[in-house]
Each structure stands twice: as structure tokens, then as C-alpha cells.
Amino acid sequence: MAEGRLIPHHGEAIVLRTWPFHEADLLISFFTRDQGKVKGVARHAMKSRRRFGGALEPATHVRAHYTERPRQELVRLDNFEILWSPLTAPVDYLRTAGLQLVVEVLEEAMPDLAPEDNIFRLALATLTAMQADSVWLPVTYFCLWMNRLMGWMPELGHCAVCGLDLRGQTVWWSPAGDGVTCHDDRRSGSRPLSAESVAESYRIARSSLPQLAEESWSEGRAKDLRAFAIGTLERHLERRLRSAVALQR
């Protein structure tokens, strides 16, 4: 490949985050279907919205047109076409926090230039399912499946310490340790995960989001399962998720 040759890219992406960059430019982090997470510069985006419009809003699904120069970390963003925008539906506090949770986890968990089609499809399905009156199921579904796809989901049927069969029982999990335990072997600061919520986790693993959405999912349903899924993400990411804190307020 010739030194300095420009390589054009065109494909689907989810906008994750934007930062001011130089005087009028924006630095954009976006998760593409073909290349994984990419960072690039949108020249003069703070002065002129013509090329991007509302396409730079986090959680927006776009067709991204950008140009890569070999050996340079940042690509040049040419144009984003909106395929789906979170602004097409009413936005309230909870929906905003739910949308931010998805993009925050992607931003923190995904390495640069590592395509993961399953995670891209999971994120897109979750974002488009997130409505003002339907937040808790998509959040729970996304966090559980993100743990599975990243290889962070522990086995819930047996105690990680003594091996006791815990099927059909309450299990205990710790924000600071792997696996789940029985009551006797629970670690300091452990939290319970009910047998009903463990069963819900198995249903989520074998059902699609639209299938599950046919049921009513209130904030209280599987609340302990959602806390477990978020806590597992936070432990592996080694940081608190700001959007998860916002959801709990």
C-alpha cells in the first residue's frame, strides 16, 4: 500500500461520544459494524451543521462516510446520514439515561478497530426498543447480553466456592468477585439474586427482545437481576457507569 494513500470507508455506525477539538472541530467516537470503534475528526462541525445536522447526537444510527490515512489514529469524517435517531421519539429522563447506558458501555468496553457484529446488532436492537414507557427491559436485556458476548457472564447454577447445586434457589453475588455463591459461602458485601430472577436470565438468553417486550416489564421486575448485570459490567470495566447511577435516581 502506498505511503499516504487515502482509504475511503462507507458503512453503518452508532455515534457514541463527541468532544470539542481545536477551535471549531469535533472529535467523534463511533462504533461501526465493519471496523469496530473508530475515532475521527469532523472539521468545522461546531460552525457548520450542514454536513452532519443532528447525526452527531449520541446513540444515533448513521451511515458513516469517512476517510482513513494509514498510520494516523484519527480518521477524517466526511458525512453522516441518519438511519435512525433517538430524537424521533419522546425523550424523558429515564429514556435518556437508558440510551446513554448503551453508548457508555460500548465506549468503555470496545477496543478500537475490533469489529463485533453481534454486539453491534445487540446495541442497535436495544437503542431502537428504548421508549419513554419501556426502559427497564431493554436495559436489562442489553446488560445481560453484553456480559455474555464479552465472556463476563458467570455460571449461575452452582456455588463458585463449594460447588453446591443452586438451581431453583437464591444465589449471592459480589461486586468484587467472580461467580455466585450459596448463602453460607457468600462474600462480604454480597447481594442476593432471587431464583425467579435467575430464571428470567435464562429466558432472556433464549428469547428475542421483541418477544420479551410483549410482556409488561416494570421497574420492579427483575430489579435484582438488572443490578447484578450492571454490577458485573462495572467490575470488568473497573469503573462506575455514570448512566447506571442516573437510572437509579
Are both 81 and 131 inside the same structural domain? no
Res 46: pLDDT: 73
Q: 77 and 155 in one domain?
A: no
Q: Is residue 2 part of a domain?
A: no
Checking if the pLDDT of 3 tops 70, the result is no
Tens-place pLDDT, residues 208-238: 999 999 999 999 999 999 999 999 999 999 9
Same domain, 35 and 51: yes
3-class SS at 184? Answer: coil
Burial class (CB in 10 A: 0-12, 13-18, 19+), 162: exposed
CATH of the domain at 177: 1.20.1440.120
Tell whether 198 is covered by a domain: yes
**What pLDDT sits at residue 132?**
87
Across residues 80-87, what is the average pLDDT? 95
Q: Give the count of domains, the chain.
A: 2
| Distance from C-alpha of 115 to C-alpha of 33, rounded to nearest angstrom | 6
Can you give the pLDDT at residue 24?
82
Same domain? 63 vs 36: yes
78 found inside a domain? yes
pLDDT in tens, 24-33: 889 999 999 9
Are 80 and 109 contained in the same domain?
Answer: no
Residue 56 pLDDT > 80, yes or no? yes
- According to DSSP, the residues that pair with 9 across neighbouring strands are 66
In a domain, 148, yes or no: yes
**28 & 114 share domain:** no
Q: 2 falls in which pLDDT band (50, 70, 90)?
A: very low
User: What's the Rg (C-alpha) of the chain?
Assistant: 20
Q: Do residues 207 and 241 share a domain?
A: yes
Identify whether residues 163 and 226 lie together within a single domain: yes
Q: Among the three residues 67, 88, 109, which one is the final residue of a domain in this structure?
A: 88
Q: What is the pLDDT of residue 45?
A: 77
Which range is least confidently modeled, 17-21, 46-50, 152-156? Answer: 46-50
Residues 193, 141 within the same domain:
yes
Within this chain, do residues 80 and 160 fall inside the same structural domain, yes or no?
Answer: no
Taking only the tens place, the pLDDT of each residue in 152-195 is: 999 999 999 999 999 999 999 999 999 999 999 999 999 999 99
Closest CA relative to residue 127, chosen from 155, 153, 163, 91: 91
Write down the pLDDT at residue 51. 67
Domain boundary among 71, 88, 105: 88
Is 1 inside a domain boundary? no
Whether residue 177 sits in one domain with residue 124: yes
Considering 47, 63, 88, which residue would you say is the last residue of a domain?
Answer: 88
At position 151, the amino acid (one-letter code) is G
DSSP string computed for 46-57: TT--TTTGGGGS
Looking at the chain, list the stretches that DSSP marks H as alpha helix, in order from N- to C-terminal side. 93-109, 117-129, 136-150, 195-206, 209-212, 223-237, 242-248
Q: What is the domain extent for residue 138?
A: 93-248
Which domain CATH number covers 23?
2.40.50.140
pLDDT digits (tens, 9 = 90+) for 90-146: 989 999 999 999 999 999 999 999 999 999 999 999 999 999 889 999 999 999 999
**Signed CA dihedral, 79, 98, 226, 135: sign only:** negative
Q: Is 99 in the same domain as 74?
A: no
